[in-house]
Structures are given as structure tokens and as C-alpha cells.
Amino acid sequence: MQHAIPKGTFDILPRDPDEAWRESHLWQDVEKTIREICKVYGFREIRTPIFERTELFVRGVGEGSDIVSKEMYTFQDKGGRSLTLRPEGTASVMRAFIEKHMDQQGGLHKFFYVGPMFRYERPQAGRYRQHHQFGVESIGSALPESDVEVIALLLEFYNSLGLKNLNVLLNSVGNEETRTRFREALRSFLEPKRMLLSADSQMRLEKNVLRILDSKDPQDQELLQGAPSLLEMLHPADRDHFERVQLLLHRLHISFEVQPKLVRGLDYYNRTVFEITSGDLGAHNAVGGGGRYDGLLSLLGGPNLPAIGFGTGLERIIQTMLKQQISLPEKIAPLLFFIPIGEKAKEYCFALVFQLRRQRIPVEIDFHVKRVGHSLQLAEVLGAHYSLVLGEEELLSGQIKLKEMQTRREISLSLDQLSIFLGENLALRLQ
């Protein structure tokens, strides 16, 4: 029986001729950039378990959200506990923060994480059942400066990768009291048109009326013309906050668009929410999104501290990079590929290969040389920069010829100089 990968998941491979975005060197490069940027912005890594008690997400993400109502991978372990594969990272970070009393440790509470998230969604281009997120959570400041710090970090990350044509959509969802009033106003507005709404939106009318605002159905969008506006109902303090966020974004020369219908799919948000979309992705065009969630820590039994963060999907980022034909990092390839001829040469090369690797010079060796032509082909497939055919003659004379794979040029040097040559060559390449 053949085993197939579960629906909605994918392998990340050294080479994938069908889907270049699944090649591991691209993922490594994006992850490297994440770590560099987070270091500069003072966000430190947190790693939480892949699964948590189900209750955490039900409370944290919200019972009415799509994630909790239909997308969670929930199971019972052998001890009869209900556990859930994490559908997102924020609730887990809050749980760790509360459990370890991190508020009493002093300092700033700025965290980042990278890892897989699980949602039972209908798989489509750009939508997976296991996707990977880079997220940050900044806990402890209610100031607009903190909102802007998080948004600026996200955009700097995209810029460093070379992403272009991104839209920054911004909104404020105010406070709980405003949202309750707004929900009622929106429900009263839509109730008379109930039968004209899409089936999904009809269901949301009771359960999660705010989500009707970002319905993709064109008729729903038409019916929403003239609907009450959340922005116009904001409490003055929330309005001031929102205006200051916009002012600070202008100061950093960050362009954005206020999108009054942006509400996002998780229940914990208040005040600022944002989403970054790419015109180069299909229907699922949100590359990243986030917002403020000042009430979540206390809702989960922790201290009453404000917080803000974002999550951004690595699949969509790498797909956008490829669509935009951004210059991509080079594949991982050996600098030199050894082709030893005969037992003596093999023994010699074997020792030399490990010596070079100890010097952190990436080299490869063919243990199974049958025909030189065949080994050269292998060197080419691996993308080696140089190859070296080394037999008894070379061992006796101490003179070797490296072949530059791309140009077929030959470089003569003595065997003693090899490690210096490679070391200098590598340093040049890394510049």
C-alpha cells in the first residue's frame, strides 16, 4: 500500500521541480531574515507546544470564530484530556506568559515565534491545513507607539525579503461596548435583507455579524452599502488612539489605507487591526494580519495588560516572492566536489573532506565513482562550484586541477594550497 501525504499539507524539500516555493533553502532564508529583524527590533524567541488544552483556544480565540467553530484539530489523548493542535500562536503565548508570571520578571515583553499552525479548512491555493506562521506579540504597552512598532517590524521584514506591491489595510474595532452597539446596529440594518444574503452571511447574522463585513460575496457587499460604520461610532479615546497610530505611521513614511470594513476573524481584537495583502496572490491574498488585543490576558486569567501582535504566513510570503521574481537566495551547494580515482586517492580525499568540513568549507565527495563522466553529472546536479578528479598521479605530483563547473575553466594549483584557496574563495562568495 502506498502512503499519501494528508490533504492540505505539503513537504518542504531540498528540490521540488513542481513547486519551487516548497524548496527548503527558501524557507531557511526567510527564517534567517526573521531572526535578524527580530533581533534588531528587540523581539525574543518563544517556543510553545504544538498542542494545548482545547479550552485555551475556545476561550482565547472565541467560540463564535470560524477557527473554533469548525476548523480545530481536536482530539482526546490516552488520559481522556481534550487537546487541540494550535490553530494560531497568540493564545499559547498568553498562556505561557501567565503560567510563568512573566509580568513579574521585569523588562519588556516582546516575543516572536515561527512554526506550524493547524486549521481544518477547505484546501485551496494559498490555504493549507498545516501552514507556517511567523508571529510577534508585544505585551505591556497600550500606547500607539507600540502598535506602530509592530506594524513597522512586519513591513521591514517584507522589505528585507524584497516583497513589493503590498497593501497595508488599517482599521480600529474600538472597545467592547462600541462593538456591542455596532453589532446591534448592523444586525438591525441587515435583518430586513436577510433572505438576500448569502447562506454563510445568514448564519453569521446571529453568531458573528461582524464577519459579514468581510464577506467575499459580491451581493453581500452590495447589500452592505449604506451600513452603519464602526469608525463613526468609536469612543473618543479609541478615536484618538487610532489617529495617533496613523500619524506615527506617516512619520515613518509607511503608506496605508483605512479600511472601515476590516474586522478580522479572531474574537480577541480591540482598537487597531491591520492586514497586509498582496495583489500577486489569488483569493486568499492576506500575507499577514494582526491587531491589538488588550483584554485577552485578563480573559485567560492573567494580569490586566494590553498587547498587540501579528501573524504572517510563510507559504504566502514565499509564493509572493516567486511570483514577483525577486532575486532569490542561492541553493545550498558544495564549493568543491571530490571525484577520487582508486582506493589510495579515495582514502586521501576522505580524510581531506572532513578536514575541510571542520574548517566549515562545504565540500562533497563521490564515494561510488564508476565513471568520471557520471560523477561530473552528479556534481552538476548538486550545483557544485568546482570539481576535482584526483588519482594516483595527482597524489604523487601534488599538483591538481580544479574544474570550474559553470565555465569549464581549469585552475591549476598545488594540493597544499587547496584549503587556503577554498577558504578565500568561500569568504569572497559570502561577501
Shortest distance (Å) from residue 427 CB to ligand HAM: 37
Rounded to a whole number of angstroms, the minimum distance from the CB of residue 118 to ligand HAM is: 9
| Closest approach of ligand HAM to the CB of residue 78, in Å | 29
Closest CA to 337 of 378, 368, 306: 378
Our measurement of the distance from residue 233's CA atom to the centroid of its chain's CA atoms, rounded to an integer in Å, reads 34
- 135 contacts ligand HAM (rule: CB under 6 A): yes
Report in angstroms how near the CB of residue 232 gets to ligand HAM at its nearest: 25
Which bin fits 121, alpha (ψ -120 to 50), beta or left (φ > 0)? beta
For ligand HAM, which is the closer residue by CB, 23 or 137? Answer: 137
Sheet strand arrangement including 399-404: 363-365, 336-340, 386-390, 399-404, 410-414
In the block, cell 531572526 appears at 35
Give the whole-angstrom CA distance, residue 186 versus residue 214: 13
**Cβ-contact 147, 102 below 8 angstroms:** no
288 binds ligand HAM (CB under 6 A): yes
Candidate segments 10-18, 20-28, 129-137, 326-334, binder of ligand HAM by CB under 6 A:
129-137
Total interface residues for ligand HAM by CB under 6 A: 27
Which one, 93 or 405, has the nearer CB to ligand HAM?
A: 93
Binding flag, residue 311, ligand HAM (CB under 6 A): yes
Instruction: Check residue 400 for interaction with ligand HAM (CB under 6 A).
Output: no
> According to CB under 6 A, which one of 62, 309, 334, 340 is a site residue for ligand HAM?
309
Taking CB under 6 A as the criterion, the residue among 41, 43, 128, 338 binding ligand HAM is 128
- Rounded CA separation 274/393 (Å): 67
**Among the residue ranges 85-93, 221-229, 249-257, 359-367, the one whose residues contact ligand HAM (CB under 6 A):** 85-93
What is the distance between the alpha carbons of residues 359 and 357, in angstroms, rounded to a whole number? Answer: 5
Select from 33, 65, 90, 201 the one that contacts ligand HAM (CB under 6 A). Answer: 90
Q: Which of the residues 249 through 278 are near ligand HAM (CB under 6 A)? A: 265-266
Query: Judged by CB under 6 A, does residue 62 bind ligand HAM?
Result: no
Q: Is 30 in the site for ligand HAM (CB under 6 A)?
A: no
Which one among 137, 147, 149, 366 touches ligand HAM, defined by CB under 6 A?
A: 137
Pick from 286, 300, 318, 379: which binds ligand HAM (CB under 6 A)? 286
Asked if 88 is part of the footprint of ligand HAM (rule: CB under 6 A), the reply reads: yes
For residues 262, 263, 266 and 267, what is the CA-based torsion angle, rounded to 10 degrees? Answer: 170
- Return the residue of 121, 156, 214, 364 that touches ligand HAM, per CB under 6 A: 121
Residue 275: all three cell numbers together: 492586514
Collapsing DSSP states into helix, strand and coil, what is residue 220?
helix
Nearest to 36 by CA among 161, 162, 164, 168: 161
323 binds ligand HAM (CB under 6 A): no
| Cα(168)–Cα(290) distance, integer angstroms | 11
303: helix, coil or strand?
coil
Helix (H, G, I), strand (E, B) or coil at 269: coil
Dist. CA 390–CA 404, nearest whole Å: 15
Q: Does 109 bind ligand HAM (CB under 6 A)?
A: no
Hey, CA dihedral for 139, 144, 147, 150, is it positive or negative? negative
Find out whether 276 and 251 touch, Cβ atoms under 8 Å: no
Q: How far is CA 107 from the centre of its chain?
A: 26
Give the contact letters, 139-178, x = binds to ligand HAM (CB under 6 A), - = no: ----------------------------------------
315 binds ligand HAM (CB under 6 A): yes
**Which residue in the set 95, 109, 110, 119 belongs to the binding site for ligand HAM (CB under 6 A)?**
119
Q: Which stretch binds ligand HAM (CB under 6 A): 29-37, 100-108, 168-176, 307-315?
A: 307-315
> Distance from CA of residue 409 to its chain's centroid?
41
Contact flag: residue 95 with ligand HAM (CB under 6 A):
no
197, 156 Cβ separation under 8 angstroms: no
Residues that bind ligand HAM (CB under 6 A): 88-90, 119, 121, 127-128, 131, 133, 135, 137, 265-266, 286-291, 293, 309-313, 315-316
